[in-house]
Structure 1
């Protein structure tokens, strides 16, 4: 069964890209105007002192900033944060989109390794989503190269004065981390390695599944697919934590968390499964995925529900540390977000409460319209989650869901739809007839 990219959907994706570029361009122009105004930051600080010198700052920090020299340094820091906003606005949707694509390939490999039968009807949807990996990787690398070439100040640990023991800005914590992990050359090399590995495995696995179809389920090809799937599960499990450390956690180089990597991985997974459900339901309605039925949808909805609860557990496990562990780095991380970002806790209403109350029923998981809508709700909720991870550290009080954020979101969303459908879904035979468990998936019926 082949899908032809709908002209209407293609036009929608292209319009999203063009409108996104236009809106982002307007936001970039306004940001440049703000940076050119010498009184812009000073006026903001006077109008909202709590936003810039709030309780999330330590008493020691506030005392230090009463000196003229410290005040000047702090103003330089605020100028860097204002300049960071276009980059941070672009990083949020790019990081989410790359994660969705990578998690789709990971989820597909888990199905292969587990010898799962139910999912083979939707396996080509997973492959189609994974097609975005190279494009998503390029988007991230644009930000990474910009930081490494000092085109932005997202990662302030790159300031070499922080690791100079003879300088006035010496920071022993960052200097120690620079020896082990946080230094620009190794950080840049690792970033390219992550994208290269994911891209290679995406092409590798798609090539093998095509060979499986062409060989009518040859056992040697099936064994090869199993081996490659195992390898990517290992690669994904190792690179995802490292990506979270390098690209997100290092925005707050003094902060640390032992479960942040799993927290980010589950955000990827639940958003990816939601995307699978949306595309599968769409293809079913277009008549291109006729074998997809309520049973397959029920299982996808189960994963949406289960991963949402797992995300909530990890979020709470990380959040509650500030109440009982008395770790200053943990406390300041959350205090800043609570003080500066009034909608911080709203993501719990979307990612936990809405999913729990609406999708807990087994019968509701079979209502395609509701699952379709909840898929978008979940993706929006995790966009807000990544927004709250990235923006406070990179732009601080200069955050705002304005032209830059809306433009970047529309641009990446349009690119995602175009690439996934033009170079993924429409190029694949949506029926994985060569897979030994495809027949089992066709007749699969949820037992409860």
Structure 2
């Protein structure tokens, strides 16, 4: 890039970055194929974990954009292309997630339950197993049958498709209006962005907790927590902030977005710090209420995670996702140091992968799910490569890396805190 004020340069996706992302995708494909052949139930769990994680991070990009427009924030205008690139990927991430869930429900394997061999799906076996709502079936479960009006396959997929479709549509409109703003100038498209941002935040805020109920909590259909959806929303937001911040840092190291300075990084560090505390509050509140009530139908969720196979990961989860940002980036100076933020971002990205791991594995795989094998490592690498490839491709399609006609661009370029 020539100067920090040259906004006509485009991101070029080539060379080592492209090659490494393709190599990561190949590693992931090989690992997934091997996992499906040799350890199918565990691989399906990892596919669900990473597909859900990918979708959440992409949605977090749209949430970031919407918050900035709804708040009429100026400091972020010059970096908005990065979360916009995330938002453009929501349809593709959603499709991957829907395919994984559909395959996990469609394909079954034999499991011994109460001395009977039962054909259970690899995912959502607690409610999607045939006959669980049929009083004449040997698989009948009265608790699950009572939830059949909500937890049934047609309605389940209708909800997922509607939610993800709305996120994709509204996020796409946010990006489109920003690009139109570059072409024609004026305030018309900014006003449209403001209106759509408000609609998106309303829709997302009302539906994302239900999305978390469906995709993750329904794996354990006999258990419920009214806080689980907000817990997942907090995890989505923190992990998304970490990925956005890490992307900014990596692109600046390559010479892009050189107009972003320590003041912008301070704000991103502040967001990560604050919402890591919020995530911890939700985690602790959900755990404490269940622990204090000590009702069998409530503590069963935590009982599984206190088995020897998962208890170390259960406690490591809170240590990584709370103590690391709390101790490392509490001070103002730490938030303004790129190297420190880079380390914290990587910790949080891995930490919230562990968070989803603890949510999913104890139910879908059980004690055999403890630890990390090639399925976990390979699937993570593959999805990370896919995400890097898609985000880089999306960024390369922007005519400019900065919204040149954004009304608050000058404020962002001179941002100081």
Q: TM-score normalized by structure 1?
A: 0.85
| Contact 1:129 1:424 (C-alpha < 8 Å) held by counterparts | no
Q: Distance in 1 between matches of 2:26 and 2:151?
A: 37
2:128 pairs with 1:158: yes
Instruction: Please list, as runs of the form range in 1=range in 2, the aligned pairs for 1:103-114 lying within 5 A after superposition.
Output: 103-114=60-71
- CA deviation after TM superposition for structure 1 residue 324, in Å: 1.4
Confirm or deny that 1:421 pairs with 2:392: yes
Tell me which moved more, 99-108 or 417-426. 417-426
Offset at residue 27 of structure 1 (A) = 3.0
- Between the aligned partners of 2:156 and 2:17, the Cα distance in structure 1 is 38
Shift of 1:169: 3.0
| 1:401 lines up with 2:372 in the alignment | yes
Larger Rg: 1
**What's the CA shift string for 1:365-417, capped at 9, x where partnerless?**
11101101211110100000001101111111121411211121111111000
Alignment match of 1:142 (pick from 85, 99, 103): 99
Cα deviation digits, residues 44-81 of structure 1 (max 9, x gap): xxxxxxxxxxxxxxxxxxxxxxxxxxxxxxxxxxxxxx
Contact 2:88 2:171 survives alignment (8 Å): yes
Q: Distance in 2 between matches of 1:397 and 1:185?
A: 31
- Which residue pairs with 1:57 in the alignment? none
Number of aligned residues:
393
How many angstroms apart in 1 are the aligned matches of 2:377 and 2:194? 41
Alpha-carbon distance in 2 for matches of 1:240, 1:378: 21
Question: In the alignment, which residue of structure 1 is the partner of 2:304?
Answer: 336
Distance in structure 2 (CA, Å) of the matches to 1:135 and 1:360 = 36
Conserved 8 A contact 1:164-1:170? yes
1:57-96 matches, cutoff 5 A:
83-96=40-53
Aligned runs of 1:300-379 on 2, under 5 Å? 300-339=268-307, 340-341=309-310, 342-379=312-349
Residue 148 of structure 1, CA deviation: 4.1
Deviations 1:56-107 (A, max 9, x none): xxxxxxxxxxxxxxxxxxxxxxxxxxx4211101111111111011011011
- 1:168 deviates by 3.4
Aligned residue for 1:382, secondary structure, equals: helix
Match of 1:442?
413
- 8 Å CA contact 1:4, 1:426 repeated in 2: no
- The 5 Å alignment of 1:227-306 reads 227-306=195-274
Q: Which of 108, 113, 116 is the matching residue for 2:73?
A: 116
SS of the counterpart of 2:258?
A: coil
Distance 1:435 1:269 in 2: 25
- For the 8 Å contact 1:125–1:425, the answer to whether it is kept is no
Provide the residue aligned with 2:12 in structure 1: 4
Matched residues in 1 for 2:67 and 2:84: separation?
A: 13
How large is the Cα RMSD of the aligned pairs?
Answer: 1.5
The Cα offsets for residues 148-171 of structure 1, whole Å up to 9 and x where unpaired, read as 434533112012321112333322
Match of 2:38 in 1: 30
- Greater helix proportion: 1
Q: 1:277 to 1:220 in 2, by over 3 A?
A: same
Q: Quick check: 1:148–1:188 contact (8 Å CA) kept in 2? A: no
Q: Which runs of 5+ in 2 are unaligned?
A: 1-6, 109-120
Displacement of 1:194 in angstroms is 2.1
Instruction: Give TM-score scaled by structure 2 length.
Output: 0.91
Distance 1:299 1:89 in 2: 33
What residue number does 2:55 align with?
98
The residue number in structure 1 matching 2:118 is: none
In 1, distance between residues paired with 2:96 and 2:67?
Answer: 26
Partner of 1:39: none
Distance 1:122 1:398 in 2: 43
Inter-CA distance 425–347: structure 2 relative to 1 (3 Å threshold): farther
Residue 425 of structure 1 and its aligned partner are, at CA, apart by: 4.9
The answer on whether the counterparts of 1:322 and 1:331 sit within 8 Å (CA) in structure 2 is yes
Question: Cα–Cα, structure 1 residues 345 and 425, in superposed 2: closer, same or farther, change >3 Å?
Answer: farther
Q: 1:246-270, CA deviations, whole angstroms, 9 ceiling, x for partnerless residues?
A: 1100000011111111110111111
Matched-pair contact (CA < 8 Å) for 1:112–1:229: yes
Q: Is the 2:101–2:123 Cα contact (8 Å) retained in structure 1?
A: no
Distance in 2 between the 1:254 and 1:222 partners?
46
Q: Indicate conservation of the 8 Å contact 1:24/1:406, yes or no.
A: no
Kindly state the Cα deviation for residue 196 of structure 1 after the two structures are TM-superposed.
1.6
State whether residues 205 and 228 of structure 1, in contact with CA within 8 Å, keep that contact through their aligned partners in structure 2: yes
Question: Contact conserved, 2:87 with 2:171, CA < 8 A, in 1?
Answer: yes
8 Å Cα contact 1:24/1:403 also seen in 2 = no
Q: CA deviation at 1:426?
A: 4.9
Secondary structure of the corresponding residue to residue 168 of structure 1: coil
Give matches, 1:210-229, under 5 Å.
210-216=179-185, 218-229=186-197
Shift of the 392–414 alpha-carbon distance from structure 1 to 2, 3 Å rule, reads same
Q: CA deviation at 1:212?
A: 1.2
Q: Gaps spanning 5+ residues in structure 1: where?
A: 32-82
